[in-house]
């Protein structure tokens, strides 16, 4: 069994909304569709409420990663999903192969004004089938600041402990998403994944760890978690986005780690 940690996103108020292009899609299968060449953003309006399950989202792109994060016009995070098809290696070594909801998968958005951030470094599309509501297509066009980092490593046979630190910015506006997954291969005993933002060069602690996931005797792919915290609540000191994987016993496994940062407008 695995548990997905709820992403924590606390955001300051948005600036004046940017223009967006929107139009109806096929009414037979209601969809929310976000397209663009990232990293980009756009504001859009829902005329009525919509409900959907991000577990059914289809994320495609030509770059190293693709997804979308949606905020209210006042800057409150409401939903997001991201996929990382490659982690600095051939496709067969993918360690983060599936799009993940950033927070709860089941989402209901009320009618109103929203802003979408395309999490991508090339052409990308996110299609979300609606459980209820009217279809809408949004094209993001305004450029935003965004960075991406990913890596992976083979997990040694037997007992092992891996740590993946990555220095991250501490600008007030920056939002940081950290992804980690134990994949490909198997664990013959408990595997624990910890994700945190911590002072540069230090390990995850009880105070800095925002996501902890443990799986017992698990086939690869069961551990996957995400987190995001507001930089305005972080100390003004060099920080690491850090993932730590500990396995009592394993073989043929891979651990992947990715960081996405972007600045809301």
The per-residue pLDDT for 18 is 36
167 in the same domain as 93:
no
Q: Does residue 163 form part of some domain?
A: yes
131 in the same domain as 161:
no
The per-residue pLDDT for 3 is 31
Q: Does residue 6 form part of some domain?
A: no
252 in the same domain as 164:
yes
Q: Does residue 11 form part of some domain?
A: no
The per-residue pLDDT for 29 is 86
For the chain, give the number of residues.
265
243 in the same domain as 175:
yes
Q: Does residue 127 form part of some domain?
A: yes
Q: Does residue 13 form part of some domain?
A: no
Q: What is the mean pLDDT of each run of 10 residues along the chain (265 residues)?
A: 28 31 58 96 97 91 89 90 63 52 89 96 93 96 91 75 81 76 62 76 75 49 47 65 76 75 86
From 105, 126, 143, give the residue that closes a domain.
143
104 in the same domain as 77:
yes
139 in the same domain as 34:
yes
103 in the same domain as 183:
no
75 in the same domain as 161:
no
What CATH number is attached to the domain comprising 79?
Answer: 2.60.120
From 115, 143, 171, give the residue that closes a domain.
143
From 143, 178, 199, give the residue that closes a domain.
143
Question: Considering its fold, how many domains does the chain have in total?
Answer: 2
CB 238 within 8 A of CB 169: no
Burial letters 80-116, b for 16+ CB under 10 A, else e: bbbbbbbbeeeeebbbbbebbbbbebebebeeeebbb
**Tens of pLDDT along 10-61?**
222 222 333 344 444 445 789 999 999 989 999 999 999 999 999 889 888 8
**Tens of pLDDT along 138-153?**
999 999 999 898 887 7
Q: Does residue 98 form part of some domain?
A: yes
- The residue range of the domain holding 169 is 146-262
Q: Does residue 251 form part of some domain?
A: yes
The per-residue pLDDT for 213 is 56
H or E stretch at 67:
strand 66-72
Indicate the pTM of the whole model.
0.75
241 in the same domain as 200:
yes
Q: Does residue 120 form part of some domain?
A: yes
Percentages of the chain per state (helix, strand, coil), in multiples of 5: 5, 55, 40
The per-residue pLDDT for 209 is 62
105 in the same domain as 27:
yes
């Amino acid at each position: 069994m695995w548990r997905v940690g709820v992403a924590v996103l606390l955001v300051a108020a948005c600036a004046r909304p940017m223009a967006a292009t929107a139009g109806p899609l096929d009414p037979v299968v209601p969809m929310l569709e976000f397209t663009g060449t990232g990293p980009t953003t756009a504001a859009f309006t829902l005329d009525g409420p919509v409900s959907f399950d991000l577990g059914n989202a289809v994320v495609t792109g030509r770059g190293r990663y693709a997804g979308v994060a949606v905020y209210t016009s006042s800057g409150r995070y409401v939903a997001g999903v991201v996929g990382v098809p490659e982690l600095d290696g051939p496709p067969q070594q993918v360690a983060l192969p599936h799009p993940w909801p950033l927070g709860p998968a089941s989402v209901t958005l009320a009618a109103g004004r929203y802003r979408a951030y395309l999490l991508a470094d090339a052409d990308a599309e996110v299609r979300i089938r609606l459980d209820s509501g009217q279809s809408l297509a949004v094209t993001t066009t305004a450029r935003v600041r965004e960075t991406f980092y990913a890596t992976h490593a083979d997990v040694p046979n037997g007992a092992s402990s891996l740590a993946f630190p990555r220095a991250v910015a501490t600008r007030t506006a920056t939002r940081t998403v950290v992804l980690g997954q134990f994949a490909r291969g198997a664990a013959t005993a408990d595997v624990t994944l910890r994700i945190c933002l911590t002072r540069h060069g230090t390990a995850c602690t009880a105070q800095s760890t925002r996501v902890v996931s443990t799986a017992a005797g698990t086939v690869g792919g069961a551990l996957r978690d995400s987190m995001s915290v507001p930089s305005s609540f972080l100390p003004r000191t060099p920080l690491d986005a850090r993932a730590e994987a500990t396995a009592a016993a394993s073989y043929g496994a891979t651990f992947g780690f990715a960081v996405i940062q972007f600045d809301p407008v």
